[in-house]
Copies of this chain bind each other. A is one copy, B any other.
């Protein structure tokens, strides 16, 4: 079982089908396979041996797709770099993983001199952009043109497929080691629910392809023989146009992207009827936003995924039917078919239903460990279970609720205020595009309910109007005492609103 399996299968079954669409560039399975076999040959010629790491630092493109196939084809190991990192973090991940060969596109080529300075072992830079190749880099297309194809150096399922650095918030990121089986198990497990990644899928890559959320969909759709519609990065206009033009059937988004789409003035001008599945992750979605998204995408089932890189990445899914039930939108869903999920106490034993404990997960998707971090690996993988570090509880139907989200409770004047409730009410205001509610220290109230709001394009609203709107719908003590307006909310690499960041600003 290798990440290249889907390419071989497609080559055997549908060689002339379109496999990638990127701007005006369209490539069939046969073309992709020929290019991948040449790129793998080029990597070998560049001294990449079995198990060596090859990094990629790039926006989404059809060449990202080829990289994901050519590295395992060459018998090497993927290292898709987080494009949101600082140059210091990028250099750290290259050095930590010993990635001597790096592919960069036009957007990241300017970083190369700085990377070489910080990581002198960087041997070869392959420029996979469409602009002129920088002086100290090799041209991706020239390499393909000048190299003979090689045979696929298939690896067995248990071998290392890639290092996926987690966006650690403290200290330097850790390299999560995932095998081919880890990645395929999660992808097939998610597909097994029938919620999405069905055969014949036309998957839109709008979220960054380096991230496992998108990459997992890439694996499933490649295995099941679908088409990848690729845009360089999330942009509402590009996404709306791509969906309509290429009859996209499935798309992975994070809630802030969904929000941006439904708020876009061009929304109604596009035919989005082809979309049958939307997978979103990183954070729950507020009901008003979900309802607007459902109306905008009438044929789509919505699925929320919870997981982490160490789980390759999916652990639980909140499926389309669950979205129709009240009270479940704040849940992370139920264990996916391939994952066993428990909530345990400090002794490792399961806690009763409804009790908060640590979420732990078992199964063939659980990582091999952290690269060069045996102590961290031992701490995470205890008694055969991956310890997520997330607090949460299970209800009597197996729905998982992550307590980090419960922790967003604000205690103001002795009253408990759940930020998600306030956020839902504020989000229902027609002038609000996005909002986050936090507790900020307050001499009088202990904590004060504070809202940070992004206004919708062209809309205007005052703090007083927001307060009045909120008080009309929920108890007065829950209404934000203070309101700030911002251009955007701080989000993590995975698109999650970083309330920690907001709290720091107002601390």
A residues 329-374 touching B (CB-CB < 8 Å) = 334-335, 337-338, 340-341, 362-364
Chain B residues contacting A9 (CB-CB under 8 Å) are 334-335, 337, 340, 398
Which residue from chain B places its CB closest to the CB of A13 in the assembled complex? B398
A288 close to B (CB within 8 Å) = no
Identify the interface centre among A6, A8, A337: most chain B CB within 10 Å of its CB.
Answer: A337
Q: By the criterion CB–CB under 8 Å, are B194 and A12 in contact?
A: no
Q: Tell whether, in the assembled complex, residue A194 and residue B199 are in contact, meaning their CB atoms are under 8 Å apart.
A: yes
Interface size on A, residues (CB 8 A): 42
Complex Cα gap A119–B45 (Å)? 61
Q: A364-B184, A398-B13 are in contact. Are A192 and B224 (CB under 8 A)?
A: yes
Tell me whether B154 and A1 are in contact (CB under 8 A).
no
Whether the Cβ atoms of A12 and B334 lie closer than 8 Å is yes
Considering the complex, which residues of chain A in the window 1-30 have a beta carbon less than 8 Å from any beta carbon of chain B? Answer: 1, 5-6, 8-9, 12-15
Please name all residues of chain B whose beta carbon is closer than 8 Å to the beta carbon of A100 when the two chains form the complex. none
Cβ contact within 8 Å between B188 and A193? no
- A394 contacts partner chain B, Cβ-Cβ < 8 Å: yes
Check B397 against A14 for contact (C-beta < 8 Å): yes
Residues of chain B within 8 A of A493, CB atoms compared = none
Once the chains are docked, how many angstroms separate the CA of A194 from the CA of B15? 22
- Chain B residues within 8 Å of A248, by CB: none
Rounded to whole angstroms, the CA-CA distance of A1 and B363 in the bound complex is 4
Shortest CB–CB separation between residue A22 and chain B, in angstroms? 24
Q: A157 interface residue, CB < 8 Å from B?
A: yes
A488 at the interface (CB under 8 A from B): no
* CB within 8 Å of B: which A473-498 residues: none
- Chain A positions 126-182 with a Cβ under 8 Å from a chain B Cβ: 154, 156-158, 181
Interface membership of A97, Cβ < 8 A: no
Q: Is A191 an interface residue (CB 8 A)?
A: yes
A189 interface hit (Cβ, 8 Å)? yes
Q: Residue A65 at the B interface, CB < 8 A?
A: no
Residues of B within 8 A of A188 (CB): 185, 188-189, 192, 337-338
Assess whether A384 is interfacial by the CB under 8 Å rule. yes
Which interface residue of A181, A188, A193, A223 has the most chain B CB atoms within 10 A?
A188
Residues of A within 8 A of B (CB): 1, 5-6, 8-9, 12-15, 154, 156-158, 181, 184-185, 188-189, 191-194, 198-199, 220, 223-225, 334-335, 337-338, 340-341, 362-364, 384, 394, 396-398
